[in-house]
Amino acid sequence: MRFFLAFVFLSTCFSINAQTKKASTAKTSVTAVSSIAAGKAVYTQYCVTCHQANGGGVPNLNPPLIKTSQVLGEKTKLINILLKGLDTHEEINGDTYENVMPSQSFLTDKQIADVLTYVRNSFGNKASAVVAADVKTARAKIK
Amino acid sequence: MKSLKILKTFILLSTVLLAHSYVNAQQASPGLTLPAGFKASVVADKLGKARHIAFNSKGDLFVKLDRSKNGGIVMLKSNGNSFEQTPAFGNYSGTGIAIHDGYLYASSNKEVFRYKLNDQQQVSDPSKPETVVTGLIDRGQHNSKSIAFDNDDNLYVNIGAYSNSCQQKDRQKGSMGREGCPILDSAGGIWQFKADKLNQTYGDGTRYATGLRNVVGLDWNKQTNTLFVMQHGRDQLHDLFPDLYTEQQSAELPAECMYELKKDDNAGWPYLYYDQLQKKKIVAPEYGGDGKKEADNKYIDPAAAFPGHMAPNALLFYTGSQFPEKYKNGAFIAFHGSWNRSPQQEGYFVAFVPFKDGKPAGDWEIFAKGFAGTDKVVSTNEAQHRPCGLAQGPDGSLYVSDDVKGTIYKISYQK
């Protein structure tokens, strides 16, 4: 009996846990999926020329977006690259790139969040989503 | 036991040596498509980012390597039918390499150096080059300093513009052009220096021609006694001015232009671009253009025009007698291949333009293709090889370098 009770208790725990987990995963993925889809459209319009359809960039000219610390690392830093542009020619995965990244600050907070969520979950990348509130916060800090 | 060890060492050594000589031997059928009667082979491979190439009179090939951690120049010593790779030297990146009057000249992205050649036409002291030109501008974009010589001891150096179209904010959508583009003071043209004077900088040279965005391929034409250059045309007309240009127009336009230069010529960058479909010089959108408005006629016209963005990285006038008559004095152009064309990239081939009396005499054609290893390149990094340098071997064969894998191709004609 004691054994049975313990079994029921344990099963219930598992099942509740599983349900909670399932619900939250489903919720996140629905949001992420729509953000990724919207982000792909932004990427195709504003990013694809330089960073290319496969995210591989152009050797020596435009950096790749595949598994780089800039793309997968701290979100605020990544958001700021879009808001401010980048012309430091810093090393990216051991190589440097000659072209400048122009500022994309004309994009809305949501567009930036979507495109970054798309990039962080495409080309073999897997990282958490960027939300519009993150972009809003970063934008407010730029004078 | 000891003899067994020696035997093992011997076997190991033989295997290594055999493998080594195999690498150096010519590998047939590298997958290129050529006109009838031509054949291609690979004479060296895995050199690194092999940019421009130059032969000495003994048939040894010097290769300029970009972004190499183990030396920026490598000599492939000729053994008759094959080449032997020798240790690299020159601790700098860059593109330019040429032989002139007993010296090997090579460029970094800021300087031009030279090395004295010995009676074997080899560099005897690779650690002590002389500095011919120094202090040239390098701001990343378009920083390669390609070089060429005339018959009067002058050295020509390309100094590319560190900008796409001299916008107030480079490559920023809608940003207009800077008035009286100040970049042209120190870049965006061809500078002339003395071939045999050391430590020259801007003040010692002359801005020979201006209004050239970025030239990577250039060659002195001995028939006309003039410099010919291939300009990389501006990028991203649609991205920057979507209301004026469709994506399709932006893929085709502007032309990649061949110019014949005379002193003080102005090719018009950033104020104009050449539209090969309208066959007109068109005012750039950054300077008030709308895709139709024609530019001032004081700017020179191209000698030949090619589809947009294919990135001509080398130009060579063929003076050999191995190839059929139609190739004599004509221009070979190595197109590195595009990145800002949608939905499909173009280039990645060697083109040919026939010449008669120093002028193009017929349409350009594809001479050698298949470097990319695929018919359809959507993203630039899918290309397995990209043509970057050209040189004519002592026997009249054409050599092509690739800066993806560092392959050197030899293309010959058999009667």
Residue A137 has pLDDT above 70, yes or no: yes
pLDDT score at B16 = 40
Distance (Å, rounded) from C-alpha B207 to C-alpha B192?
A: 6
The yes-or-no verdict on residue A53 having pLDDT over 60 is yes
Q: Give chain B's domains with CATH numbers.
A: 28-413 (2.120.10.30)
**Beta strand residue intervals within A1-143, DSSP E:** none
Task: Check CB contact of A94 with chain B, cutoff 8 Å.
Answer: no
| Gap between the Cα atoms of B290 and B280, Å rounded | 13
- Minimal CA separation from B174 to chain A, in Å: 11
Say if A39 falls within a structural domain.
yes
Cβ–Cβ under 8 Å, residues A113 and A135 = yes
The CATH number that applies at residue A80 is: 1.10.760.10
- Using the Cβ of A92 and the Cβ atoms of chain B, whether some distance falls under 8 Å is answered with no
A29 vs chain B: nearest CA distance in angstroms?
A: 29
Cα–Cα distance between B412 and B39 in angstroms, integer?
A: 6
Rounded to an integer, what distance in angstroms lies between the CA atom of residue A138 and that of residue A129?
A: 15
Structure-token match 């595009």, residue found: B338
Angstrom CA distances, A53 to A33, A89, A120, A139, B406, stand at 19, 22, 14, 28, 25
Count the domains in chain A.
1
Could you count the other beta carbons within 10 Å of the beta carbon of residue B28? Answer: 9
Asked whether residue A10 is assigned to any structural domain, the reply reads no
The tens digit of pLDDT for each residue in B97-119 reads 999 999 999 999 999 999 999 99
In a domain, residue A14? The reply is no
Residue A29 confidence (pLDDT): 67
Residue B27 has what pLDDT? 53
CA–CA gap between residue B188 and residue B182 (Å, rounded): 10
Q: Looking at residue B28, what is its pLDDT?
A: 55
Q: Report residue B225 CA to chain centroid gap.
A: 20
Inspect the interface and report whether the beta carbons of A54 and B379 lie closer than 8 Å. Answer: yes
List CB contacts (< 8 A) between A90 and chain B. Answer: none
Distance, CA of A68 to CA of B135 (rounded, Å): 33
* Mean pLDDT, chain B, whole residue set: 93
Contact B169 A102 (CB under 8 A): yes
pLDDT digits (tens, 9 = 90+) for B211-245: 999 999 999 999 999 999 999 999 999 999 999 99
Q: Do B381 and A64 touch (CB under 8 A)?
A: yes
Q: Is A124 at the interface with chain B, CB within 8 A?
A: no
Give φ, ψ of A79 to 5 degrees: -60, -40
Q: Is B29 on the interface with A (CB under 8 A)?
A: no
Does residue A67 contact residue A124 with C-beta atoms inside 8 Å? yes
Tokens coding B117: 């050649």
Flag whether pLDDT at B348 surpasses 80: yes
A106 found inside a domain: yes
Which structural domain range is residue A37 located in? 29-141
**Are B141 and A98 in contact (CB < 8 Å)?**
yes
- CB of B235 closer than 8 Å to CB of B141: no
Disruptive mutation site among A43, A48, A49, A54 for chain B (greatest number of B CBs within 10 Å) = A49
Helix residue ranges, H only, B351-393: none
Name chain B contacts of A59, Cβ cutoff 8 Å.
Answer: 380-381, 404
CA distance B376 to B123: 42
Mean pLDDT of A24-31: 56
Decide if A48 is inside a domain. yes
Give a yes or no: residue A15 inside a domain.
Answer: no
Q: Which residue has the higher pLDDT, B7 or B286?
A: B286
Interface test with B, best of A44, A51, A54, A58 (most B CBs within 10 A): A58
Q: What is the pLDDT of residues B281-337, one digit of tens each?
A: 999 999 999 999 999 999 999 999 999 999 999 999 999 999 999 999 999 999 999
Question: Rounded to a whole number, what is the largest CA-CA distance in chain B?
Answer: 87
Residue A59, min C-alpha distance to chain B (Å):
7
Interface predicted TM-score (ipTM): 0.86
Position B359 pLDDT exceeds 60: yes
